[in-house]
Amino acid sequence: MEIIPVIDLMHGHVVHARLGQRQHYQPIQSLLCCSSAPIDVVNALLELYPFKRIYIADLDAITGQGNHLPSILHIQRQYPHIEIWLDAGIKNIDALATWQTVNVTHVVGSENIASTHDLSEISQKLEGNLVLSLDFNQAGFLGCADLQTNTEYWPDKIIVMTLSHVGSQLGADIERLQTVISRANSLAVYAAGGVRNNDDIGTLQGLNVAGALVATALHNKKLSL
């Protein structure tokens, strides 16, 4: 099972994402480094462990307040061997134009998709090279309802993103993960939100998830090498 470090970018800083309440996010305070600058945080994470990929959520792009394209390009130039999974709030194929200069794997969040037609067009444009994030909060599924249940629209990699567990001490959303895994057949399913420690990683391994997206537990040094 793979651990994928998560970096949430807002207003030029890496921020501590918590419970999906983006209006309250603050610059990260990490035991790994004393900076919230994107490249400094990436440097610290890669000093901790030679991760093969990182997940970047550009919260400014997701909320329509600009983007962090220069910072992401800087990270890519520094670490060209690292695969970047980028959630930039892609809603349709027109939104992909902003990111033509950077080599990323796009994460398409269900919260941003109004119809399965939009997702199909995005997938066709990207030649299937995308990750679908099935997004949930306390109220339930976010986005076009068909995406939750109709697996014909699912690409090879699926994230189960429970925003109300992000940055919490709640543990992973096991019930939702089990539901998605039962539908996913041979697709790779990744858990996002709530991972606290090694025990949680062990629980996820028992579910045969492909990987876990982790931020807080890395910055708090709650996971062993």
Mean pLDDT of the chain, nearest integer: 92
130 bridge partner residues: 106
Residue 36 has pLDDT above 80, yes or no: yes
Domain map (residue ranges) of the chain: 2-219
- The percent of residues above 90 in pLDDT, for the chain, comes to 83
> Quick one: pLDDT at residue 18?
65
pLDDT band at 23 (very low <50, low <70, confident <90, very high): low
Classified as helix, coil or strand, 26 is: strand
CA–CA dist 7, 214 (Å, integer): 9
Higher pLDDT, 17 or 100: 100
Average pLDDT over residues 84-108: 96
Spatial CA neighbour of 72 closest among 42, 109, 96, 111: 42
CB atoms within 10 A of CB 157: 20
CA–CA dist 207, 195 (Å, integer): 14
Spatial CA neighbour of 188 closest among 219, 158, 161: 158
Q: Which CATH architecture has domain 2-219?
A: Alpha-Beta Barrel (3.20)
Entry pTM: 0.93
Residues 6+ apart with CB under 8 A from 48: 32, 218, 225
